[in-house]
Structure 1
């Protein structure tokens, strides 16, 4: 929507699903993405999600690779 300062933002909530190849465990993240528009183009993107859960998956991959 358009805000009083004239900026236009679109926000979305989504659930991203995948599989951690190192552990075969599901990787599920609730994500909030917001985009700022100018002249019908996205000029800014902000993404919010649980970085701790993501880091757990990164560490599992590192451990599986012996790191």
Structure 2
């Protein structure tokens, strides 16, 4: 699922907000990951000049730990 909208502020700022669910299967744990996220993009002259990302990182961190452990063996 995903949703985006763009906000046009009276001072000329333009921001796009994007919500999504990222899914994958971990290469090291084999577990299915589903992580909800939210990105904000600031626009100037038709280009993205700033991107901010927010998501819960618990599932990602478990996969990262498994990858780190595998590489140290």
- Partner of residue 3, structure 1: 9
Higher RCO by CA contacts (8 Å cutoff, separation 6 or greater):
1
TM-score normalized by the length of structure 2: 0.79
What 5-or-longer segments of structure 1 have no aligned partner? none
RMSD over equivalenced CA pairs, Å: 1.5
TM-score normalized by the length of structure 1: 0.85
Q: Structure 1 residue runs of 4+, over 6 Å off?
A: none
Q: How many residues align?
A: 67
What 5-or-longer segments of structure 2 have no aligned partner? 1-6
